[in-house]
């Protein structure tokens, strides 16, 4: 875990007020430590790096960041769900796996969006 000040040192031009805003907006959710400081887990630092890159490297407007973070969170959740589904299918008997693969190849199953 890293303290607030240590996280700031990772980003040369990040002002304390901006990192504080990210926490207040709940874009980054560090653990509250004793006193008024935060402890950033590895995932919090990665999230701060993502936000930093969005703001600095991609020049993303501040009001667009919540939408992008929400979409990226949804993609992450979808990947987790697909991995879980893959593990579930892999644990099935060979005939079930074959049926699932055949349905995927032919686009079997209900169509999305009622098309």
pLDDT tens profile 88-108: 999 999 999 999 989 989 886
Query: Confidence class of residue 109 from pLDDT cuts 50, 70 and 90?
Result: low
Torsion of CA 85, 90, 96, 98, to 10 degrees: 100
pLDDT digit string (tens) for 3-60? 999 999 999 899 999 999 999 999 999 999 877 789 999 999 999 999 999 999 999 9
The size of the chain, in residues, is 115
8-state DSSP, 54: I
pLDDT of residue 112: 57
pTM higher than 0.85, yes or no? no
């Amino acid at each position: 875990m890293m303290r607030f000040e240590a996280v700031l040192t990772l980003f040369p031009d990040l002002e304390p007020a901006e990192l504080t805003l990210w926490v207040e907006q709940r874009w980054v959710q560090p653990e509250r430590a004793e006193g008024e400081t935060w402890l950033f887990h590895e995932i919090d630092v990665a999230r701060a790096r993502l936000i930093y890159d969005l703001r600095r490297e991609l020049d993303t407007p501040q009001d667009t960041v919540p939408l992008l973070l929400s979409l990226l969170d949804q993609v992450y959740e979808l990947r987790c769900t697909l991995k879980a589904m893959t593990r579930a299918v892999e644990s099935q008997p060979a005939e079930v796996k074959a049926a699932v693969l055949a349905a995927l190849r032919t686009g079997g199953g209900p169509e999305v969006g009622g098309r």
